[in-house]
Amino acid sequence: MYKILANTLFLGKDIHFLPDCHSTNDIALQALRQKEAYEGSIFITNHQTRGKGQRGNTWETKPGENLTFSLVLQPYFLDLSEQFFLNMAISNAIRQGMQEYIPQLQVKWPNDLVVPGTGKIGGILIENLVGSKGWEYAVVGIGLNINQREFSSPQATSLSLVTGSSYPLEELFKLLIIQVEQAYLALKKGKRELLQQEYLRQLYLLNQWAQFRVGEQTLEGKIIGLSEMGNLLLELPSGQQQSFGIKEITFPNF
């Protein structure tokens, strides 16, 4: 299962399949520290027991029903202050890879994949190794609900729940890796503006008034774009603009 990929330039030439593990991101980071992984290495598991999400959340997944894997990248061409461009490239790639099955799929800032009005289908978590010379490696963890049909969280959904069908995990995996590699190479070639335009084009709640949570308060606002650092820009009813980091704002229904 999950053989070396033939239709890619560098991603998936070194695949580590783990029947089960606590976190593919942790395993990938450990392998990098021990010089047992390099750019293009992929760590994938049949069952992730302590998958991680943004804000310290956990990722619920049943054995053999979903895709949970981590990619090793070496984005030396970006400054750490520009890392949100990598986030946008990966988010775009996963959404594009799945839009054939779910055309209405959108990206919820910063990097969740959601079906509006239905729920969250996946997420991305990027963790970095930084050395004395700057950004050394990025480990990109991706979790996608594919064939699972029961969740403890009412906000979660899956490809199978949305479409009513089941899907071969390895074929989807191959498709997504090809999409990720293409997006990463586009970023490496400097196509940042195009990547950002695509990210904003499919951004959940863009230019829509909604109620957000900021701390213990409810805030009405409209997403109008992103700052240079990738923070979320909201327009308030007063016309004032406000910027929010990842841990500063919570979306409605999520």
The model's confidence at residue 4, banded by pLDDT at 50, 70 and 90, is confident
Entry pTM: 0.93
Specify the pLDDT at position 225.
97
Residue in 115, 227, 254, 124 with CA at minimum distance from that of residue 180: 124
* Res. 60: pLDDT tops 90: no
Specify the pLDDT at position 171.
95
Specify the pLDDT at position 93.
98
Min mean pLDDT across 59-63, 181-185, 193-197 is at 59-63
The model's confidence at residue 136, banded by pLDDT at 50, 70 and 90, is very high
Specify the pLDDT at position 59.
57
Topology (CATH level 3) of domain 14-201 = BirA Bifunctional Protein; domain 2 (3.30.930)
d(CA 106, CA 108): 6
* Res. 57: pLDDT tops 60: no
**For the residues 25-46, what does the mean pLDDT come to?**
96
Alpha helices in the chain (DSSP H): 24-33, 83-98, 159-163, 169-188, 192-201
**For the residues 163-185, what does the mean pLDDT come to?**
97
The model's confidence at residue 2, banded by pLDDT at 50, 70 and 90, is confident
**For the residues 13-21, what does the mean pLDDT come to?**
94
* Res. 58: pLDDT tops 80: no
Helices 169-188 and 192-201: angle between axes, nearest 10 degrees: 130
Query: Percent of the chain beyond pLDDT 90?
Result: 83
